[in-house]
């Protein structure tokens, strides 16, 4: 259920982030075991959801024990989040315009995170938000940067390390997201826990 061109999108994004990481040098402190960005929920597209489900299916075939642990963590997360979910807890579609979403589940660990190892069990299938986290990223709000990184760097030095998106990335991602929605019959964003149980 994953659009065929998703591998191309992942390649484009990963290359842009690798380039930014290379320019960041020692200011970028992201390493295996640093899990701050794995705590708290955030919206993901149906494309990200499909990628996560495919990654979980792959894990099931290579390491059923770890896959079962991911499913268990996702199930427990949904059980905790469903009563106050800002959206439709039956479908997992989140209402990002709800004032409740801003402060919703900020302390909830991602179900893909193995807390014992500090590793993402679905790293190769992670959502776009996870892929671009770390190096500075230009958004509508300005230049976003991880609060743990770039200490001592000037604003100009931080800006020089920003991810430089491929000119065709946004159009490709939008097209693939629409294709994923059509393929799955699901529209709207969700969160990782609901995606993994979908």
Residue 126 structure tokens: 């992670």
Instruction: Taking residues 67-73, report their average pLDDT.
Output: 98
Residue 53 structure tokens: 């489900």
Which among 20, 3, 30 has a CA at the least distance from the CA of 118? 30
Return the exposure string of 137-154: e unless at least 16 CB atoms fall within 10 Å of the residue's CB, then b: beeeeeeebbeebbeebe
Contact 197, 81 (CB under 8 A): no
What are the phi and psi torsion angles at 90 (to 5°)?
Answer: -75, -40
18 sits in the region (left: phi over 0; alpha: psi -120 to 50; else beta) called alpha
158-173: per-residue pLDDT in tens?
999 999 989 999 999 9
Instruction: Taking residues 114-136, report their average pLDDT.
Output: 96
Instruction: Taking residues 32-46, report their average pLDDT.
Output: 94
pLDDT band, very low/low/confident/very high, at 59 (cuts 50, 70, 90): very high
The percentage of the chain sitting over the pLDDT mark of 90, rounded to a whole number, equals 93
Contact 117, 34 (CB under 8 A): no
So what's the pLDDT on residue 32? 86
- 139: pLDDT strictly greater than 90: no
- The ranges assigned to domains in the chain are 6-197
């Amino acid at each position: 259920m994953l659009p065929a061109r998703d591998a191309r999108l992942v390649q484009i994004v990963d290359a842009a982030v690798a380039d930014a990481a290379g320019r960041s040098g020692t200011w970028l402190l992201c390493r295996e075991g640093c899990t701050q960005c794995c705590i708290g929920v955030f919206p993901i597209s149906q494309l990200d959801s499909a990628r996560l489900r495919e990654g979980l299916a792959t894990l099931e075939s290579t390491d059923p024990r770890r896959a079962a642990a991911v499913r268990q963590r996702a199930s427990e997360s949904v059980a905790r989040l469903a009563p106050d979910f800002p959206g439709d807890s039956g479908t997992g579609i989140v209402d990002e315009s709800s004032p409740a979403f801003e402060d919703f589940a900020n302390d909830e660990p991602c179900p893909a995170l193995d807390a014992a190892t500090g590793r993402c069990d679905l790293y190769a299938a992670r959502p776009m938000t996870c892929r671009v986290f770390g190096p500075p990223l230009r958004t509508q709000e300005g230049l976003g940067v991880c609060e743990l990184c770039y200490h001592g760097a000037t604003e100009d030095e931080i800006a020089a390390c920003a991810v430089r998106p491929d000119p065709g990335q946004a159009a490709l991602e939008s097209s693939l997201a629409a294709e994923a929605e059509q393929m799955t019959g699901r529209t709207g964003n969700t969160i990782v826990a609901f995606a993994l149980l979908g």
